[in-house]
A = this chain, B = another copy of it.
Amino acid sequence: MTYCVAIKLNAGLVFLSDSRTNAGLDHISTFRKMIVYEKPGDRFMVLLTAGNLSISQSVREILQVEELKNPETGEGITIWNAKSMFDAARVLGSAIRRVYEHDARALRNDDVGFNVSLVFGGQIKGEGMRLFQVYSPGNFIEATDETPYFQIGESKYGKPVLDRVITPETPLDEAAKCALVSMDSTIKSNLSVGLPLDLVVYEADSLKSDKVVCIDQDNPYYQMLHNSWGQKLRQVFDSIEDPVWDDAHTDIPLKMPARRHATLKKIGTPQEKLI
């Protein structure tokens, strides 16, 4: 499995990926799922991959040479000369389709679906930052102010904290912290997501980043976050009062509790009719 998350903020972009892959629970390996494409001062792009590892590795390889023809000029568009992130995302989609043509039938013969999902974001000089989620067919959607983040892989455990915290106004380092909490919850709940983590924080319009780090179990910040999040969640839980049951009692229809308002009340017990 895999968990990757990318967040688009007014202040910049945050990318985080785990590095665990598994071919069955008895075959766990470590593969990085983040690639940074940078031409300082011109473009900064990050690709996160989930799904079939052979497909995502082939896509990354082919992406280096993939060209789309510009309909007017006829010249080739690559991720390195594309004038917009939209064009770069189309080059990526085209690379996925190239791998599909080459591998999909053979995979299908082995009952393996063509399964890959990617997040691709960054900034090219002359336009704003953009963040895309790219699907197996090579089509993609773009993040908006209403939905400023994308997840791929095991997304559910880590989603609630993103929904509670992330808005376009969230500061960069706070969003990085939120992504790490989201990853921590996922790692706690899914064995097939694991350290080390790759984290990139990109500041808007910088067209480069040196906030790039690999985080393993010895990283003191991640250790602190992991421990205090767990402890403090527990404190919050304890600080909420337990339900109070009063002694009000009501006859209720068979088979289901009556709908009660006001405080949590003891009410009569629904029963199946005895045969």
Contact = CB atoms under 8 A, between A and B. Distances in A.
A216 B164 CA distance: 23
Interface stretch (A5-13, A87-95, A97-105, A223-231): A223-231
A34 B272 CA distance: 11
- Number of this chain's copies in the assembly equals 2
A271 interface: yes
A255 B64 contact: no
Given A188-B163, A261-B216, A272-B37, A266 B210 contact: yes
Contact of A160 (B65, B185, B214): B185
Nearest to A228: B240
A225 B240 contact: yes
A213 B270 contact: no
Nearest to A45: B272
A54 interface: no
Interface stretch (A106-114, A117-125, A133-141, A172-180): A172-180
Interface string A172-203: 01101110110001001100000010110100
A176 B240 CA distance: 12
B219 A229 contact: no
A164 B265 contact: no
Interface string A146-164: 0000000000110111011
A275 B242 contact: no
B237 A181 contact: yes
A65 B173 contact: no
A165 interface: yes
A258 interface: yes
B173 A220 contact: no
A234 B164 CA distance: 7
A177 B219 contact: no
B213 A174 contact: no
A259 B39 contact: no
Given A37-B271, A177-B240, A270-B212, A221 B264 contact: yes
Interface of A: 32, 34-39, 64-65, 78, 80, 156-157, 159-161, 163-165, 171, 173-174, 176-178, 180-181, 185, 188-189, 196, 198-199, 201, 208-216, 218-221, 224-225, 228-230, 232-237, 239-245, 249, 255-275
